[in-house]
Chains A and B, each alone.
Chain A
Amino acid sequence: GQQLNQSPQSMFIQEGEDVSMNCTSSSIFNTWLWYKQEPGEGPVLLIALYKAGELTSNGRLTAQFGITRKDSFLNISASIPSDVGIYFCAGQPGGSNYKLTFGKGTLLTVNP
């Protein structure tokens, strides 16, 4: 089955630093999504990408849909303490397949 490799598994950074994380897949996806999850809550959608090569920003967050459709990355600029959480990438094949395949997540810790 499809697998998503997300890296790094965890990051410990200082406030103000930039962060980069990425996902690679063995299969093609038509949609890439990035979610953030905080303790006791469900994942919250940060950015959705629908087209190969697409670069999309949401405030300090920027994500790109890889040209091969098998990868995506998320950048967070000038991190702040409230960025703490687990970030997940997810891919959706498209067509009649609405299943999301998730990466294992990147645990981000920001030191004030």
Chain B
Amino acid sequence: KAGVTQTPRYLIKTRGQQVTLSCSPISGHRSVSWYQQTPGQGLQFLFEYFSETQRNKGNFPGRFSGRQFSNSRSEMNVSTLELGDSALYLCASSLDGGGGYTFGSGTRLTVV
């Protein structure tokens, strides 16, 4: 059974640009969450989607957005990138949101 797949693994962007990250959940999983991991702040929740609807949202500015498609695949977008957006972005999926989430390997975003 394939795990959670995130693409790309690494990304370098310039300040002011925008970026789109992709996540393919485990087959059958309908809940997808996104987290930002930095050395200073640790793992911080961005948002959670279920059946194409955002159910929960973290405390991030509106530059961070996401969406989920009918096949449960998800994307997150960050516009007007700032240096502080450099982080490991992790996607996680679960059957319905409850219980344990399975994480992908993440996308390492570097903003220069």
Interface residues of A (CB under 8 A from B): 1, 31, 33, 35, 40-45, 48, 50, 88, 90, 92, 94, 96-105
Contact = CB atoms under 8 A, between A and B. Distances in A.
A98 B104 contact: no
Nearest to A4: B42
B103 A44 contact: yes
A98 B103 contact: no
Contacts of A94: 98
A45 B94 CA distance: 12
Contacts of B55: 96, 98
Contact of B33 (A1, A31, A100, A104): A100
Give 4 closest A-B pairs by Cβ, nearest first: A42-B103, A98-B97, A102-B43, A48-B100
Given A50-B99, A92-B99, A100-B101, 11 more contacts: A35-B103, A40-B105, A42-B4, A42-B106, A48-B100, A94-B98, A98-B48, A99-B45, A100-B35, A102-B35, A105-B42
